Structure 1
């Protein structure tokens, strides 16, 4: 797979998730850490907008380097939400799924940094 395709795939993933923050916000509201000030829905929309903006930056070759860096930072920033999801899980199965997702965040960071550092 070419580096350009890897970047477009990352942009598509981020764009899809960002869109879901607006279309189906309730599941995202539930994983906003309670320690954050303000309304969970506001954080859901802010993080969705961040994902959409980052997707756009990655999709445009001239801004791809910045987009890759911001995507890596975004993946690190949402990690506490993923931890919160594991802590708040109501069933053993959902808790195990949430815990299993935690280490997957780091390959996403690596992918984003690869997009930042590579050129076709």
Structure 2
């Protein structure tokens, strides 16, 4: 039961984030590292990936699809970590100190938690239990 609740929470989180990437890409473009090619397309497709992962986590019929969604979202979180690190460095170097360590440190800690949560909620780790 708890895994199902976290699966829903994670799906809502990624569904909203995916929508935000598509509907309002500007804030994401600002933190995209300069070495990322075609940043507009990358931001758009990351939004699509987040939405697809959210849908995959929520579907009740195929454990394999939930697992694929969990793996995909975990890999996604790993791949966007450099953008979060870039944002951290860029923001903290700004004249006003940016959003501060109180924002960036939890965000850095959250990334591995999101990776683990995607794998756990996507049933990649752990034996499935009846009713979960």
TM-score normalised by L of structure 2: 0.82
Which residues in structure 2 correspond to 1:91-102 (within 5 Å)? 91-96=96-101, 97-102=103-108
Relative distance call for 1:100 and 1:6 in structure 2 (3 A) is closer
The alignment yields a C-alpha RMSD, in angstroms, of: 1.6
Q: Aligned pairs, how many?
A: 119
2:87 is matched with 85
Give structure 2 stretches of 5+ with no counterpart. Answer: none
TM-score where L is the length of structure 1: 0.89
**Aligned counterpart, 1:65:** 67
2:35 is paired with a residue of what secondary structure? Answer: coil
Which segments of 5 or more consecutive residues in structure 1 lack a partner in the other structure?
none
Structure number with higher helix proportion: 1
Contact 1:32 1:81 in 2 (8 A): yes
Q: Give every structure 1 segment of 4 or more consecutive aligned residues whose post-TM-superposition deviation is greater than 6 Å.
A: none
How far 1:99 moved relative to its partner?
3.9
Which has the larger Rg? Answer: 2
